[in-house]
Amino acid sequence: MKPKQKLRLAFAGTPPFAATQLKALIERSHNIVGVYTQPDRPSGRGKKIQSSAVKTLAKNHNLDVFQPESLKTSNACRDLTALSADVLIVAAYGLILPKAFLEIPTFGCINVHASLLPRWRGAAPIERALLAGDAETGVTLMQMDEGLDTGKILFKTEIPIRKIDTRASLEEKIALAGASALIELLSDLPTAQRQAKEQNHSLATYAEKMKKCEASIDWYHSAKDIELQIRAGFGRTPAFSYFKNNRIQIIQATKLQTNHVIANAMPGEITASTKNHFTVQCGTDELSVTIVQLPGKTPQTIKSIKNAKPNIFKIGDRMVDSE
């Protein structure tokens, strides 16, 4: 009996989420014939040209890397055809895959998507799940078609959303779950494809990319919604407000279970202040703030800030949504 021949895999992805998937494939000694990732771009405060997490990982393992600006060209299709890939794995790549490109690999293209499809199709599924207050999220492996995350479902794994989860913590858990699911799927891909299930398109919701304006805190909203906003923005689009004409990022805060009774407190007004936190009145309930980022600084606990500035964030001071 002949040993089972390894699939020839091509991979397409860009950020650390995708690098987690590629790392799992490398560690399991899969036959990776080529890696696609976004072109190097300016990033960070100095706007230095930087490679993606996927490119760095691929180069460290001497894998061939392709960085086309678009896949809608004959050259892009020619390059993938030349790889003779059995399947293309796609994870947070960032480029649209046209029909001609999707049809090149023998077993098509498989997407690792960070939600339980058909809920939260689109670019920001983790953020939207948090903002909606969902009780769970997960990862879906999907056979790609021309639609936006509309293909048949090959594999699903659920992940509960804890009250302390942020976008960053969920992304890490979903990435690891996706990598594990991917290894299992590839162990018998033909069977998984035969058993693939259509999505219930009537249940679809869409996860639009987060806009910068969505990071601005409106203190007239409920404490619950503002807490979700802070958790959803963690590490990528941090929630912010203005305090004494300075923009500060709110990194960690929680809705209080009981309210301080302060007559006529306005939304955004600080109603309590201790060495470890300060409390802000919201449209409904109050928010306890424990970590912020001041202009030009790294994130700091309220305790460390007050050690240096004891009189900052006093009762009666007010946070506002614009300068």
Phi, psi of 276, rounded to the nearest 5 degrees: -110, -20
Q: Tens digit of pLDDT for each residue in 137-176?
A: 999 999 999 999 999 999 999 999 999 999 999 999 999 9
Q: Which of 207, 240, 268 is the last residue of a domain?
A: 207
In a domain, 286, yes or no: yes
Residues 119 and 55 in one domain: yes
What DSSP string describes 194-246? HT-B---GGG--EEPPPPGGGGB--TTSBHHHHHHHHHHHTTTS--EEEETTE
Kindly report whether the global pTM for this prediction surpasses the value 0.95: no
Residue 258 confidence (pLDDT) above 90: no
Alpha carbons 208 and 125: distance in angstroms, whole number = 8
Residues 107 and 179 in one domain: yes
Mean predicted lDDT score pLDDT of the chain: 94
Phi, psi of 38, rounded to the nearest 5 degrees: -65, 150
Q: Which of 207, 236, 265 is the last residue of a domain?
A: 207
Residues 225 and 186 in one domain: no
DSSP state of 318: B
Domains: count for the chain: 2
In a domain, 264, yes or no: yes
Residue 261 confidence (pLDDT) above 70: no
Residues 117 and 155 in one domain: yes
Nearest one of 231, 229, 235, 234 to 217, comparing CA atoms: 229
Q: Tens digit of pLDDT for each residue in 43-80?
A: 877 788 999 999 999 999 999 999 999 999 999 999 99
Q: Which of 183, 207, 231 is the last residue of a domain?
A: 207
CATH of the domain at 148: 3.40.50.170
Residues 233 and 262 in one domain: yes
Q: State the pLDDT at residue 86.
A: 98
Per-state percent for the chain, helix, strand, coil, to nearest 5? 30, 30, 45
Structure tokens at 293: 């980022």
Residues 134 and 70 in one domain: yes
In a domain, 236, yes or no: yes
CATH of the domain at 228: 3.10.25.10
Residues 188 and 315 in one domain: no
112 has which bridge partners? 141
* Domain with 36 in it: 8-207
Distance between first and last Cα of the chain: 73
Residues 150 and 265 in one domain: no
Q: State the pLDDT at residue 321.
A: 83
Q: Tens digit of pLDDT for each residue in 12-34?
A: 999 999 999 999 999 999 999 99
Banded model confidence at residue 4, pLDDT cuts 50, 70, 90: low
Q: Tens digit of pLDDT for each residue in 168-211?
A: 999 999 999 999 999 999 999 999 999 999 999 999 999 999 99
Q: Is 80 left (phi over 0), alpha (psi -120 to 50) or beta?
A: alpha
In a domain, 1, yes or no: no
- Helices marked H in the chain: 16-27, 53-60, 74-83, 99-102, 125-131, 167-186, 189-194, 223-233, 302-308
- Distance (Å) of CA 232 to CA 128, 130, 272, 293: 8, 6, 25, 16
